[in-house]
Amino acid sequence: MTITFIGHGYVGIVTACVFADLGNIVYVIGRTPEKIARLKNGDPIIFEPGLGELLKKNLEAKRIIFTLDYQEAIPASEIVFLAVGTPPKANGEANLSSVLATAETVAKNLGAHYTVVSCKSTVPVGTNTKIKEIIEKHKPTAATFDVASCPEFLREGTGINDTFFPDRIIIGSASEAATQLLLKLHEPLPGERVLVGLESAEVIKYASNSILSVKISFANLVAFLCEKTGANVEEVLDGVGLDKRIGRDFLSPGIGYGGSCFPKDVLALTKTGESLKVDMSLLIAVDQINQQARDNFTDKIIAHTPSKKIAIWGLAFKPNTDDIRFAPSLYIIKKLLDQGFTITAFDPEAMTNTKKELSDKIAYADSALEAVKGADALVIFTEWNEFKQIDLEAVKRLMKSPVIIDGRNLYPPKAMQKMGIKYYSVGR
Ligand code: UGA
């Protein structure tokens, strides 16, 4: 099939590469000439494990084509995916201006044949109906189309694997023709097919991200309790999570969820509910606990580092990504800078993006060990693999005083005690 993705962010580029790899011809439309030039040269722009190789392979096979030109891509395509951003507005609602403007441009460029316009962007319930109205208004008379909602569940850092091996594929549409075309495109992929109405598909996406956020905030709440009782949150959540009805996934406490999805989607669903006069106090509490997790950890750092000279490991909002959008690290670093802290940080992939945000307000090290030289405490924000079995004796030797404040519970507290390291983690 020939398909188009509009947008080459973490969702657009990963999904486009996967469908190209399955043998489809995939156009990717962007709006920044410099970025499209880089993509054409095989530079994926973002860091996502395995993406560079997949992109190069499919560029060489001429199955993935980057363009700024809607006329080159849209009339040639059977399915057009909208994968542009829906960032939060100041009041928490999703900003739909890109999605709606893109829908209008797609409409004006539709060919004189049947096209499915499918939204992959996370959009509040009712948006796809608006997209349908916009396309109806702006399309050439001869063009026929249907809209569909095909929400995306890939995670940054494991995006390619998640796309090749989805748990489920949600197709929301009122049209049998659109549903069949999307089923055909997804045919090679495993996973349950869930065929639903547009509105259900839209709500499934927000409900999925929100329940995962509920689990994380619940784990953080249990961690707050454990810290006051002498219980160990990891033991508690192992005990809880082994119940198959609950599951252990997404029950890791720490410094709260970040990234471009959970924080914004919890707020956006809250706003949608409130606009419909639904009591959204559960999600309001989820957001508050998330905030509390960051603030409690900030207080812990301040309490245990009177000299205010620290090293930081990990800046990305999670491992295996260079993404720092809504990263808890940035929030906490800004608070610490306000308190007069001196910070040297290391992250395997996210330092370039952090420099754009914080410039030289903090120092950057070339390695984890270099970062800790002369530090009075080491603070861990992201659970990169390379920190898990690092030589902690060497870390201890390099530091001025052996204090580790760990937001991701990477090490066993007893082992740390044995090594003579003052170790503060979360909920233990
Ligand atoms: C999330 C969802 O997991 C994807 O299914 C969804 O497609 C995506 O949002 C999206 O809407 O685009 P992502 O934000 O990439 O994916 O990353 P997650 O692995 O879900 O982690 C999100 C945040 O939660 C991170 O800050 C992570 O550290 C935190 N987290 C996760 C915890 O604090 N504890 C956990 O147990 C799990």
| pLDDT tens column, 64-99 | 999 999 999 999 999 999 999 999 999 989 999 999
Tell me the CA distances in angstroms from 9 to 81, 102, 128, 425, 426, one per residue in order. 13, 15, 20, 34, 33
Residue nearest (by alpha carbon) to ligand 1 atom 9: 261
- Residue 267's closest CA among 210, 318, 324? 210
Determine the residue of 205, 216, 246, 320 to mutate for testing ligand 1's pocket, defined as the one with the most ligand atoms within 8 A of the Cβ atom. Answer: 216
Give catalytic residues, as residue numbers.
261
Residue nearest (by alpha carbon) to ligand 1 atom 12: 261
Q: What is the pLDDT of residue 306?
A: 87
Q: What is the pLDDT of residue 270?
A: 97
User: What's the rounded Cα separation, in Å, for the pair 85 and 8?
Assistant: 10
User: What's the rounded Cα separation, in Å, for the pair 318 and 411?
Assistant: 17
Return per-residue pLDDT of the chain as tens, 428 residues.
999 999 999 999 999 999 999 999 999 999 999 999 999 999 999 999 999 999 999 999 999 999 999 999 999 999 999 999 999 999 989 999 999 999 999 999 999 999 999 999 999 999 999 999 999 999 999 999 999 999 999 999 999 999 999 999 999 999 999 999 999 999 999 999 999 999 999 999 999 999 999 999 999 999 999 999 999 999 999 999 999 999 999 999 999 999 999 999 999 999 999 999 999 999 999 999 999 999 999 999 999 998 999 999 999 999 999 999 999 999 999 999 999 999 999 999 999 999 999 999 999 999 999 999 999 999 999 999 999 999 999 999 999 999 999 999 999 999 999 999 999 999 99
Q: What is the pLDDT of residue 106?
A: 98
Q: What angle do CA 314, 268, 9 make, to 5 degrees?
A: 50
Select the CATH number that applies to the domain covering 2-196 from these four: 3.40.50.10470, 3.40.50.720, 3.60.20.10, 3.40.50.2300. 3.40.50.720
User: What's the rounded Cα separation, in Å, for the pair 236 and 221?
Assistant: 12
Neighbours of 333 (CB within 10 A): 25
User: What's the rounded Cα separation, in Å, for the pair 16 and 427?
Assistant: 41
Q: What is the pLDDT of residue 29?
A: 98
User: What's the rounded Cα separation, in Å, for the pair 403 and 399?
Assistant: 8
Centre of ligand 1 to C-alpha 155, Å, is: 6
Task: Write the CATH number of the domain with boundaries 228-424.
Answer: 3.40.50.720
Q: What is the pLDDT of residue 373?
A: 98
Centre of ligand 1 to C-alpha 65, Å, is: 30
- Tell me whether strands 64-67 and 79-82 are parallel, antiparallel or unpaired: unpaired
CB 10 within 8 A of CB 323: yes
Ligand 1 atom closest to Cα of 382? 28
Domain boundaries, the chain: 2-196, 228-424
Centre of ligand 1 to C-alpha 262, Å, is: 7
Residue nearest (by alpha carbon) to ligand 1 atom 13: 155
Determine the residue of 122, 158, 169, 209 to mutate for testing ligand 1's pocket, defined as the one with the most ligand atoms within 8 A of the Cβ atom. Answer: 209
DSSP state letter for 359 = G
Q: For ligand 1, which residues put their CB under 6 angstroms from it?
A: 122, 152-156, 209, 212, 216, 250-252, 254, 257-259, 261-262, 317-318
Q: What is the pLDDT of residue 174?
A: 96
- Residue 186's closest CA among 160, 153, 158, 150? 150
User: In a 10 Å sphere around its CB, with 0-12 CB exposed, 13-18 middle and 19+ buried, how is residue 374 labelled?
Assistant: exposed
Residue nearest (by alpha carbon) to ligand 1 atom 20: 155
Residue nearest (by alpha carbon) to ligand 1 atom 18: 155
User: What's the rounded Cα separation, in Å, for the pair 155 and 367?
Assistant: 26
Centre of ligand 1 to C-alpha 140, Å, is: 40
Centre of ligand 1 to C-alpha 183, Å, is: 27
